[in-house]
Amino acid sequence: MNFSRYAKVALLASLLCGSLASGQEFKALPILDKNFCPNIQVGVSAGYMNLKNVNAEGSTVGIEISLDCPVFTLPWDNLRQQIMLNRFDSDGLEMTNLEFNPYYLITLKNGVEWGFGPGFGVIFSDTDHKSDTVFTLQAGTGLKYNISKELYTGADLRWQWTQKAELTQNHTEDLDNYRTQVKIGYRF
């Protein structure tokens, strides 16, 4: 068993132990419950991306769809699944990132929530010389402010680690990056 499997087992065990210690309800597959309400939110984002090993940095834009986690619920706070699609185009490198990020949200005060979580995804990259597709792992954190029952705004910081992409015939490099972004969205 490698390190990443140990991390997954430890995370699952801590979530299960925490939910068993609480007097509230832990539920597997809440999507199967006839009363399941996904609380869908859709937002747009804009920000800045910097690639660690490739000479490229600049603006990024995207769209985000999030919903209450359909796999399991926690007996405290909220777990949401974020699906993000981001576009980056700078210095001869175009990237489209598709990401799946479960976010654990903690309600603070006055409509403010703090969230954090891991994720995985795929990057479709394109240069003047070559196109490639690589898989990603990421971690992020952010703040969200609920302006009203329907509107929200927020800011996120996300680190992303990737496989090596073939950028030219003879050159491969990972597309590791960090991204900061602000967003605004609507809750249905």
26-187: CATH number: 2.40.160.20
Half-sphere exposure of 156 (CA within 13 A, CB side): 32
Question: Rounded CA gap, 94 and 92, in Å?
Answer: 7
In this prediction the pTM is 0.81
Nearest-5° Cα angle at 20, 15 to 23: 120
pLDDT score of 183 = 98
- What residue segments make up the domains of the chain, in order of their start? 26-187
Distance CA 93, CA 87 (A): 11
d(CA 170, CA 153) in angstroms, rounded, equals 43
Q: Which tens digit of pLDDT belongs to each residue from 42-64?
A: 999 999 999 998 888 999 999 99
pLDDT digits (tens, 9 = 90+) for 73-131: 877 778 899 999 999 999 889 999 999 999 999 999 999 999 999 999 999 999 888 89
Q: How far is CA 140 from the centre of its chain?
A: 7
Residue 20 pLDDT grade (very low, low, confident, very high; cuts 50, 70, 90): very low
